[in-house]
């Protein structure tokens, strides 16, 4: 991971001072507002209080008027309407919102969700046949439909109209429907493109003349669950809807079943409610989640919530099994893409496993499993690879596909698996001959230890809700690391003191207990951390959660070392002479001394960020001859069966010899 402080973000002291005078903020927080271009009172108030802002005009959507007119016509004429959704949290919430809205308007309405196991994602001909048999005259899709050209035409052959509401990326042509209300249409306000499927359904309810206060908690849950960017409209939806979740009967029942009390926050939506709603469709019938959200019977809600809690436990066990099997199938330690298949992998869980594999291997992942004579895949991607665009370039290989830049789904004929895997891998080899670019994480700013105060931590809460596109700010804090210790069960976490001569603060790093040797071996560091406000014995206390610590290294050296590692790891030629010239000269005796000094750390893995300039450079020729290996930015000592000659390393002969 490369931590980057954006350039040219400095703002004048006069502007910062003016904001402080008007609002009384700390200097650090006033500077954050100024860097975001928030200078005048109205802009600052709007940003800090999104719950007070209006939601978009529903008729800013192309075709919204047509959609409203067709639905109102169906209601007046007593035509049967079916809301057709999806089995994930966004789809479940979208169905719940629009079905409830139609019933309140007096419509003759029902809803239908596909089975992840029988039909898979999206509108399908079997569903169209079922709706035709039930006398449906108008299909309204939610969270799907933008790719259902053939299925919509098939429905039309029975005299059924379709209104599409969706938020997935549009293909080259729109389906031939009565109306296509899609967040990603290019002929409307681009700000609408961030909305999830449930939010689009809520906008349709608003267009139909309903008050949407009752739908805000459900839309807020879907917005967080679908990981859409938290920009202006989505921040408003989440900020308005989140406080209402504990008073929503169905969602409250689910919180009770999970043993969660108190006011819901972003983590509650993303890591408590969403997984349990998703579990309904991942492990069986997703309509159970719709029934829970809509239920007006307390006993029924309690029963359904307990059932989803049980399904979530079963989902976690299935996820762990598939993850282990998938990891066992990985042969490349530095892949550009992972395309794997398991014949008995639950298609409801492969998306979660793909996310976990992405975190481990830092590359796009596409997991397929057998279903209905096909291989059905779920994919997740890194920011540098547009997964939807990648699949589009090979669209002839897929029976169907759709999705976003970072997540997609696909269906292929079983005999095409190897062809698909080879085509995607070859495409990425051509695009990234030296491997995928190092991931970047944008850092808000440098922060001194003395600026880390309860007042500043309290001000940061104004920037919430945090999520995709509005991450909790990350700061670089320079100082001296000391008193490093492991914490938690089996030493899973790290704690330390960070000081800069004027002040000191305790920092904690969750899940990095295996980096104890690295942290203990360094002194002057750059810590990258988020800051939260908590309490201890009734008093406010600042929590500093550290993602990483790095030994300060010049940017030219860092770039040169990383270029060399990627070249060696992918068997590509070494970088150009001007890149190699950035490496310091290190004599052979020092290379050997450095290796002996850090050999114990190398057994468990030494993160490149915690190595000095000389250590990083010394390991390069050893990497070239196979004495060490580097995986995901971590160096490990290799078990060497035969004696290796460092003089045989090209890097040694060219740059590492005095």
Q: In this predicted model, which residue has the larger pLDDT, 611 or 536?
A: 611
Q: In this predicted model, which residue has the larger pLDDT, 406 or 304?
A: 304
Residues in the chain: 658
pLDDT band at 658 (very low <50, low <70, confident <90, very high): low
Residue-wise pLDDT for 361-376, tens only, equals 989 999 999 887 889 9
Residue-wise pLDDT for 263-293, tens only, equals 778 999 999 999 999 999 999 999 999 999 9
Going by C-beta distance under 8 Å and a sequence separation of 6 or more, which residues neighbour residue 61?
181, 182, 183, 185, 188, 192, 200, 203, 207
- Gap between the Cα atoms of 371 and 373, Å rounded: 6
Q: Which pLDDT score is estimated for 539?
A: 81
Q: Which helix (H) or strand (E) holds 274?
A: helix 274-283
Strand 606-607 to 628-631 pairing: unpaired
- Gap between the Cα atoms of 137 and 152, Å rounded: 13
DSSP 231-259: SHHHHHHHHHHGGGGGGSHHHHHHHHHHT
Q: Which pLDDT score is estimated for 117?
A: 80
Going by C-beta distance under 8 Å and a sequence separation of 6 or more, which residues neighbour residue 259?
none
- Gap between the Cα atoms of 397 and 505, Å rounded: 55
Q: Which pLDDT score is estimated for 125?
A: 95
Closest CA to 628 of 574, 565, 573, 584: 565
Answer for the pair 88, 407: CB distance below 8 angstroms, yes or no: no
Q: Which helix (H) or strand (E) holds 323?
A: helix 298-328
Domains in the chain, please, with CATH? 2-48+443-550 (2.40.50.460), 58-311 (3.90.1640.30), 337-421 (3.10.310.30), 557-655 (no CATH)
The one-character DSSP state at 469 is T
Answer for the pair 610, 550: CB distance below 8 angstroms, yes or no: yes
- Gap between the Cα atoms of 161 and 410, Å rounded: 26
Q: What is the mean pLDDT of residues 505-510?
A: 95
- Gap between the Cα atoms of 591 and 583, Å rounded: 13
The one-character DSSP state at 144 is B
Residue-wise pLDDT for 622-656, tens only, equals 999 989 988 878 899 988 778 888 888 888 888 88
Q: Find the Cα–Cα–Cα–Cα dihedral 390, 566, 433, 575, rounded to 10°.
A: 150
What crossing angle do the helices spanning 197-207 and 216-225 adopt, rounded to 10°? Answer: 150
For residue 116 the two structure tokens come to 């992840």
The runs of H, that is alpha helices, within 57-196 are 64-76, 89-104, 125-133, 149-156
pLDDT band at 403 (very low <50, low <70, confident <90, very high): confident
pLDDT band at 181 (very low <50, low <70, confident <90, very high): very high
Q: Which pLDDT score is estimated for 500?
A: 93
Answer for the pair 508, 487: CB distance below 8 angstroms, yes or no: yes
Strand 634-637 to 628-631 pairing: antiparallel
Distance, CA of 441 to chain centre: 13
Angle among Cα 537, 542, 545 to the nearest 5 degrees reads 120
Strand 374-380 to 407-413 pairing: antiparallel
Q: Which long-range contacts (CB under 8 A, 24 or more apart) does 380-389 make?
A: 380/351, 380/354, 380/355, 380/406, 380/407, 381/405, 381/406, 381/407, 381/408, 382/358, 382/406, 382/436, 382/439, 383/439, 383/440, 384/432, 384/436, 384/437, 384/439, 385/337, 385/428, 385/436, 388/169
Where is mean pLDDT largest: 106-110, 559-563, 586-590?
106-110
Q: What is the mean pLDDT of residues 391-414?
A: 91
Q: Which pLDDT score is estimated for 594?
A: 92
Q: Which pLDDT score is estimated for 16?
A: 94
Instruction: Count other Cβ atoms within 10 Å, centred on residue 473.
Output: 19
Is the confidence at residue 104, as pLDDT, over 70? Answer: yes
The one-character DSSP state at 295 is -
- Gap between the Cα atoms of 218 and 220, Å rounded: 5
Q: What is the mean pLDDT of residues 19-40?
A: 94
Q: Whole-model pTM above 0.75?
A: yes
Q: What is the mean pLDDT of residues 450-473?
A: 92
- Gap between the Cα atoms of 582 and 560, Å rounded: 6
Q: What is the mean pLDDT of residues 533-562?
A: 87
Going by C-beta distance under 8 Å and a sequence separation of 6 or more, which residues neighbour residue 365?
337, 338, 340, 354, 355, 357, 358, 379, 380, 381
The percentage of the chain sitting over the pLDDT mark of 90, rounded to a whole number, equals 73
Q: How far is CA 233 from CA 160, 219, 239, 292, 379, in A?
A: 33, 12, 10, 27, 27
Task: Scan for tokens 């750059």, then name that residue.
Answer: 526
Q: How far is CA 638 from CA 623, 624, 626, in A?
A: 9, 12, 7
Q: What is the mean pLDDT of residues 472-485?
A: 95
Residue-wise pLDDT for 201-256, tens only, equals 999 999 999 999 999 999 999 999 998 999 889 999 999 999 999 999 999 999 99
Q: What is the mean pLDDT of residues 152-178?
A: 95
Q: What is the 3-state secondary structure (H, E, C) of 576-596?
A: CHHHHCCCCCCCHHHHHHHHH
pLDDT band at 8 (very low <50, low <70, confident <90, very high): low
- Gap between the Cα atoms of 24 and 554, Å rounded: 37
pLDDT band at 116 (very low <50, low <70, confident <90, very high): confident
Residue-wise pLDDT for 419-439, tens only, equals 999 999 999 999 998 888 888
pLDDT band at 261 (very low <50, low <70, confident <90, very high): confident
Q: Which pLDDT score is estimated for 328?
A: 93
Residue-wise pLDDT for 335-363, tens only, equals 899 999 998 999 889 999 999 999 989 89
Three-state secondary-structure class, residue 297: coil
């Amino acid at each position: 991971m490369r931590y980057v402080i954006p350039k040219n973000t400095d703002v004048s002291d006069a502007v910062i001072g003016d904001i402080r005078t008007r609002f009384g903020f700390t200097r650090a927080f006033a500077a954050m507002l100024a860097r975001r271009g928030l200078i005048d009172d109205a802009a600052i108030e709007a940003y800090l209080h999104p719950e007070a802002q209006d939601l978009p005009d529903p008729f800013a959507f192309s075709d919204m008027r047509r959609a409203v007119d067709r639905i109102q016509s169906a209601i007046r004429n007593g035509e049967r309407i079916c809301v057709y959704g999806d089995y994930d949290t966004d789809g479940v919430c979208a169905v719940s919102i629009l079905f409830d809205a139609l019933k309140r308007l007096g419509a003759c309405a029902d809803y239908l969700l596909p089975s992840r196991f029988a039909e898979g994602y999206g509108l399908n001909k079997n569903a169209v046949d079922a709706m035709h048999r039930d006398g449906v005259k108008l299909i309204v899709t939610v969270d799907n439909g933008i790719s259902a050209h053939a299925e919509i035409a098939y429905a039309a052959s029975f005299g059924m109209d379709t209104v599409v509401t969706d938020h997935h990326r549009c293909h080259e042509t729109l389906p031939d429907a009565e109306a296509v209300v899609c967040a990603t249409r290019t002929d409307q306000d681009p700000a609408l493109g961030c909305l999830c499927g449930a939010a689009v359904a809520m906008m349709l309810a608003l267009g139909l003349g309903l008050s949407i206060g009752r739908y805000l908690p459900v839309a807020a849950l879907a917005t967080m669950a679908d990981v859409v960017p938290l920009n202006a409209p989505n921040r408003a939806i989440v900020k308005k809807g989140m406080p209402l979740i504990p008073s929503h009967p169905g969602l409250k029942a689910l919180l009770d079943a999970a043993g969660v009390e108190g006011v819901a926050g972003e983590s509650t939506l993303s890591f408590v409610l969403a997984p349990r709603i998703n579990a309904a469709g991942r492990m069986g019938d997703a309509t159970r989640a719709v029934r829970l959200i809509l239920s007006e019977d307390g006993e029924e809600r309690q029963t359904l919530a307990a059932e989803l809690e049980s399904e979530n436990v079963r989902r976690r066990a299935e996820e762990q099994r598939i993850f282990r099997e998938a990891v066992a199938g990985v042969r490349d330690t530095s892949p550009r893409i992972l395309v794997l298949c398991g014949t008995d992998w639950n298609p409801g869980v492969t998306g979660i496993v793909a996310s976990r594999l992405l975190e481990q291997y830092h590359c796009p992942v596409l997991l397929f499993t057998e279903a209905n004579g096909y291989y059905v895949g779920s994919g997740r991607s890194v920011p540098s690879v547009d997964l939807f665009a990648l699949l589009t370039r090979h669209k002839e290989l897929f029976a169907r596909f759709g999705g976003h830049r970072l997540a997609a789904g696909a269906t292929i004929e079983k005999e095409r698996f190897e062809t698909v895997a080879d085509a995607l891998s070859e495409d990425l080899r051509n695009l990234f001959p030296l491997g995928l670019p190092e991931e970047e994480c944008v850092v808000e700013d440098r922060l001194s230890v003395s600026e880390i105060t309860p007042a500043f931590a309290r001000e940061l809460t104004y920037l919430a809700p945090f999520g995709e596109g509005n991450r909790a700010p990350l700061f670089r804090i320079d100082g001296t690391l000391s008193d490093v210790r492991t914490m938690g069960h089996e030493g899973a976490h790290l704690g330390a003191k960070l000081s800069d001569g004027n002040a000191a603060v305790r920092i904690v790093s969750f899940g990095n207990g295996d980096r104890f040797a690295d942290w203990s071996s360094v002194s002057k560091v750059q810590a990258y951390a988020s800051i939260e406000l908590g309490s201890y014995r009734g008093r406010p206390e600042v929590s500093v959660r550290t993602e990483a610590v790095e030994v300060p290294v010049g940017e030219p050296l860092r770039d040169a070392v990383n270029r060399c590692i990627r070249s060696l790891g992918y068997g590509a030629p070494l970088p150009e002479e001007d890149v190699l010239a950035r490496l310091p000269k290190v004599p052979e005796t020092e290379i050997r001394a450095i290796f002996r000094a850090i050999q114990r750390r190398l057994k468990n893995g030494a993160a490149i960020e915690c190595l000095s300039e000389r250590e990083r450079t010394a390991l390069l020729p050893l990497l070239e001859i196979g004495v060490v290996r580097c995986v995901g930015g971590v160096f490990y000592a290799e078990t060497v069966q035969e004696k290796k000659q460092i003089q045989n390393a090209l890097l040694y002969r060219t740059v590492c010899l005095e």
